[in-house]
Protein backbone atom coordinates (compact mmCIF):
# COMPACT_ATOMS: atom_id res chain seq x y z
CA UNK A 1 0.00 0.00 0.00
CA UNK A 2 1.17 3.53 -0.72
CA UNK A 3 0.83 6.03 2.11
CA UNK A 4 1.03 9.81 2.07
CA UNK A 5 1.35 11.65 5.35
CA UNK A 6 0.30 15.19 6.30
CA UNK A 7 1.78 16.52 9.53
CA UNK A 8 0.37 19.75 10.96
CA UNK A 9 1.63 19.84 14.56
CA UNK A 10 4.83 21.29 15.95
CA UNK A 11 7.56 18.69 16.52
CA UNK A 12 8.19 19.81 20.10
CA UNK A 13 4.70 20.63 21.43
CA UNK A 14 2.89 17.41 20.60
CA UNK A 15 3.66 13.76 19.94
CA UNK A 16 2.43 13.89 16.35
CA UNK A 17 5.94 13.96 14.86
CA UNK A 18 6.96 10.89 16.86
CA UNK A 19 3.80 9.12 15.70
CA UNK A 20 4.60 9.98 12.06
CA UNK A 21 8.19 8.79 12.46
CA UNK A 22 7.15 5.51 14.09
CA UNK A 23 4.31 4.93 11.62
CA UNK A 24 6.56 5.56 8.61
CA UNK A 25 9.26 3.21 9.87
CA UNK A 26 6.76 0.47 10.72
CA UNK A 27 5.05 0.80 7.32
CA UNK A 28 8.38 0.62 5.49
CA UNK A 29 9.42 -2.45 7.48
CA UNK A 30 6.16 -4.14 6.49
CA UNK A 31 6.88 -3.50 2.81
CA UNK A 32 4.56 -0.53 2.29
CA UNK A 33 5.64 2.61 0.50
CA UNK A 34 5.67 6.11 1.96
CA UNK A 35 5.15 8.41 -1.02
CA UNK A 36 6.04 11.44 1.08
CA UNK A 37 5.44 13.51 4.17
CA UNK A 38 4.07 17.03 3.79
CA UNK A 39 4.80 19.38 6.69
CA UNK A 40 2.20 22.12 7.14
CA UNK A 41 1.39 24.76 9.79
CA UNK A 42 3.78 24.47 12.76
CA UNK A 43 5.11 21.15 11.49
CA UNK A 44 7.37 23.12 9.13
CA UNK A 45 9.74 23.64 12.06
CA UNK A 46 10.84 20.04 11.46
CA UNK A 47 12.73 21.29 8.42
CA UNK A 48 14.75 24.00 10.16
CA UNK A 49 18.40 23.10 9.56
CA UNK A 50 19.43 25.06 12.66
CA UNK A 51 17.60 22.78 15.10
CA UNK A 52 19.96 21.81 17.92
CA UNK A 53 18.23 19.86 20.68
CA UNK A 54 19.56 20.03 24.23
CA UNK A 55 21.56 17.04 25.35
CA UNK A 56 19.34 14.10 26.22
CA UNK A 57 16.37 15.19 24.07
CA UNK A 58 15.35 13.47 20.85
CA UNK A 59 17.06 14.77 17.75
CA UNK A 60 14.42 15.70 15.16
CA UNK A 61 17.12 16.53 12.60
CA UNK A 62 18.54 13.01 12.76
CA UNK A 63 15.03 11.55 12.44
CA UNK A 64 14.31 13.40 9.20
CA UNK A 65 17.74 12.45 7.82
CA UNK A 66 16.90 8.81 8.61
CA UNK A 67 13.57 9.04 6.78
CA UNK A 68 15.21 10.72 3.79
CA UNK A 69 17.85 7.98 3.66
CA UNK A 70 15.02 5.44 3.37
CA UNK A 71 13.70 7.22 0.29
CA UNK A 72 10.88 9.17 1.92
CA UNK A 73 10.19 12.50 0.26
CA UNK A 74 9.96 15.31 2.83
CA UNK A 75 8.15 18.47 1.71
CA UNK A 76 7.94 21.72 3.69
CA UNK A 77 5.00 23.99 2.79
CA UNK A 78 6.48 27.19 1.37
CA UNK A 79 3.67 29.47 2.62
CA UNK A 80 3.61 28.03 6.14
CA UNK A 81 7.41 28.14 6.20
CA UNK A 82 7.58 31.79 5.16
CA UNK A 83 5.07 32.70 7.86
CA UNK A 84 7.44 31.12 10.37
CA UNK A 85 10.71 32.50 9.01
CA UNK A 86 11.84 29.45 7.04
CA UNK A 87 13.33 30.03 3.61
CA UNK A 88 15.23 27.92 1.10
CA UNK A 89 18.42 28.92 2.96
CA UNK A 90 17.20 27.74 6.36
CA UNK A 91 15.55 24.45 5.33
CA UNK A 92 17.43 21.22 5.98
CA UNK A 93 19.08 19.49 3.04
CA UNK A 94 16.89 16.46 3.82
CA UNK A 95 13.71 18.36 2.98
CA UNK A 96 12.47 20.34 0.02
CA UNK A 97 10.31 23.42 0.10
CA UNK A 98 7.24 23.49 -2.15
CA UNK A 99 3.61 24.54 -2.38
CA UNK A 100 0.25 22.98 -1.67
CA UNK A 101 0.27 21.45 -5.16
CA UNK A 102 2.71 18.88 -3.78
CA UNK A 103 0.16 17.94 -1.12
CA UNK A 104 -2.43 17.43 -3.85
CA UNK A 105 0.00 15.21 -5.81
CA UNK A 106 0.76 13.28 -2.64
CA UNK A 107 -2.93 12.62 -2.06
CA UNK A 108 -3.45 11.54 -5.67
CA UNK A 109 -0.43 9.19 -5.75
CA UNK A 110 -1.17 7.50 -2.41
CA UNK A 111 -3.72 4.88 -1.58
CA UNK A 112 -4.23 6.54 1.81
CA UNK A 113 -3.42 10.03 3.06
CA UNK A 114 -3.00 10.05 6.81
CA UNK A 115 -3.10 13.27 8.81
CA UNK A 116 -1.39 13.80 12.15
Greatest extent of the chain over all pairs of C-alpha atoms, in Å = 40
Q: Which of 60, 76, 77, 103 is catalytic?
A: 77
- Contacts for 8 with CB less than 8 Å, ≥ 6 apart: 16, 40, 41, 42, 43, 115, 116
45 catalytic per annotation: no
Catalytic residues: 77
Amino acid sequence: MKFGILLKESPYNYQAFDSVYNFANAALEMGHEIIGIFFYDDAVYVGNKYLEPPQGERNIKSYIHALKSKGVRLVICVAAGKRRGLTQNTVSESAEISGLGQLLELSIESDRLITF
